[in-house]
């Protein structure tokens, strides 16, 4: 049976296991193809726009280069100039953009904004980070883990820190790919109950473990991958006081040693060195975060290829 492709990438769960695994395999193939043959013209005549309300290094650069290396074009939309909901309605913005573009990549605070754009516009919409989820980052991690271990099923992933957008997308990836997942977070910073209720049955159906813990050392014991992120996310700088809750959850050499020699470490970046992760871990031989950053480029290509196919653009 031919799989019906989703028009948009807002979260990972709607893709299902087959969709996520296809994206990861294509990301690996795109990387190999580029290293052997260089740029190609698969996206010739296609244009993607980047609408970003938050600062970005990896996401912006990798989406722009992904389009360029595949023969397409990328342009940056200034959120202040467009003024969604201020200068004109969201519906009118969507109706205009769909007449000019082949894809819209959004990095916003509001998850509902990205969902609404996806409903209103007939072109693919990509969630490049919201306050709720970061599916593209999780895909790049999945690619990196596959390259390092050859298979995701049965691996153990432990996220140490806040149950934030990155943690949620990683939990979705783990649920779909047969990985064990634990969130090690301070009391009060666990996943929202509705999210846990959503993903827990997926883990149970695959016979894998989904857990939350307040003990980082117990949580990482035997982990294949330890993942962390900044303690205070973009837009939450007024909550700097919460950082004191996370001091026992720093990923340092002591925590890494407690995990065991098999453990690798990643971070979505940018990192606040000396806070959620120490220099010796981030720059050490167990860290794969810069491999993951490189893989953002090829994972974005795989995402765009899939969505262009879904809408008849390839």
Q: Which of the residues 111, 134, 168, 298 is marked catalytic?
A: 134
- Residue 233's pLDDT is 65
Q: Which of the residues 46, 206, 267, 296 is marked catalytic?
A: 296
Segments making up each domain of the chain, as ranges: 13-133+296-310, 137-293
- Residue 232's pLDDT is 76
For 13-133+296-310, CATH gives 3.40.50.1370
DSSP class of residue 190 equals: S
pLDDT one-digit tens code per residue, 290-304: 999 999 999 999 999
Q: How many CA atoms lie within 13 A of 149 on its CB side?
A: 21
- Residue 80's pLDDT is 85
Distance CA 20, CA 91 (A): 30
Q: Which of the residues 107, 206, 267, 298 is marked catalytic?
A: 107
Write down the pTM of the prediction.
Answer: 0.96
Q: How many CA atoms lie within 13 A of 248 on its CB side?
A: 12
143 is catalytic: no
Domain 13-133+296-310 matches domain 137-293 at the CATH topology level: yes
Residue 170: which of 212, 128, 133 has the closest Cα?
Answer: 133
Q: Which of the residues 224, 268, 305, 306 is marked catalytic?
A: 268
What's the rounded mean pLDDT across residues 104-129? 97
272 is catalytic: no
Paired with 264 in beta bridges are 225
107 is catalytic: yes
Q: Which of the residues 30, 69, 137, 143 is marked catalytic?
A: 137
Residue 152 CA: distances (Å) to CA of 41, 178, 201, 246, 251? 32, 7, 19, 29, 23
250 is catalytic: no
What's the rounded mean pLDDT across residues 143-159? 98
Architecture of domain 137-293: 3-Layer(aba) Sandwich (3.40)
Sheet with 73-78, side-by-side order of all strands? 73-78, 47-52, 103-107, 125-127
Average pLDDT of every residue of the chain: 95
- Residue 274's pLDDT is 96
DSSP 236-286: -GGGGGGGGGGGGG-B-HHHHHHH-TT-EEEE-S---BTTTB-HHHHTSTT
Sheet with 210-213, side-by-side order of all strands? 210-213, 180-184, 156-160, 225-228, 264-267
134 is catalytic: yes
Distance CA 238, CA 307 (A): 37
- Residue 79's pLDDT is 87
Distance CA 199, CA 174 (A): 10
33 is catalytic: no
pLDDT one-digit tens code per residue, 14-35: 999 999 999 999 999 999 999 9
What's the rounded mean pLDDT across residues 77-81? 88
Q: Which of the residues 11, 102, 224, 229 is marked catalytic?
A: 229
Counts for the chain of helices (H) and strands (E), in that order: 12, 9
């Amino acid at each position: 049976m031919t799989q019906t492709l989703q028009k948009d990438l807002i979260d990972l769960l709607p893709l299902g296991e087959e969709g996520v695994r296809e994206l990861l395999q294509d990301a690996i193939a795109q990387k190999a193809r580029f290293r052997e043959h260089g740029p190609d013209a698969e996206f010739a005549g296609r244009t993607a726009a980047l609408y970003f309300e938050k600062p970005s290094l990896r996401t912006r650069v990798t989406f722009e280069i992904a389009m360029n290396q595949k023969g397409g074009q990328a342009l940056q939309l200034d959120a202040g100039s467009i003024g969604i909901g201020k200068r004109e309605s969201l519906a009118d913005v969507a109706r205009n953009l769909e007449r000019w573009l082949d894809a819209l990549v959004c990095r916003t605070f509001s998850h509902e904004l990205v969902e609404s754009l996806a409903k209103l516009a007939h072109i693919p919409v990509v969630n490049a980070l919201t306050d709720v989820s970061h599916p593209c980052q999780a895909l790049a991690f999945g690619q990196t883990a596959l390259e390092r271990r050859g298979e995701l099923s049965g691996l153990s992933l432990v996220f140490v820190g806040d149950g934030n957008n990155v943690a949620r997308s990683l939990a979705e990836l783990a649920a779909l790919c047969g990985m064990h997942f634990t969130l090690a977070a301070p009391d009060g910073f666990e996943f929202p109950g509705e999210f846990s209720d959503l993903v827990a049955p997926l883990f149970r159906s695959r016979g894998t473990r989904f857990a939350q813990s307040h003990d980082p050392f117990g949580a990482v014991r035997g982990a294949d991958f330890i993942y962390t992120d900044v303690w205070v996310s973009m837009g939450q700088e007024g909550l700097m006081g919460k950082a004191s809750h996370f001091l026992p959850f720093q990923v340092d050499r002591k925590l890494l040693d407690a995990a065991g020699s098999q453990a690798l470490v990643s971070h979505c970046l940018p990192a606040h060195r000396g806070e959620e992760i120490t220099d010796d871990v981030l720059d050490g031989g167990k860290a794969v975060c810069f491999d993951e950053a490189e893989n953002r480029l090829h994972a974005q290509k795989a995402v765009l290829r899939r969505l262009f196919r879904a809408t008849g653009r390839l």
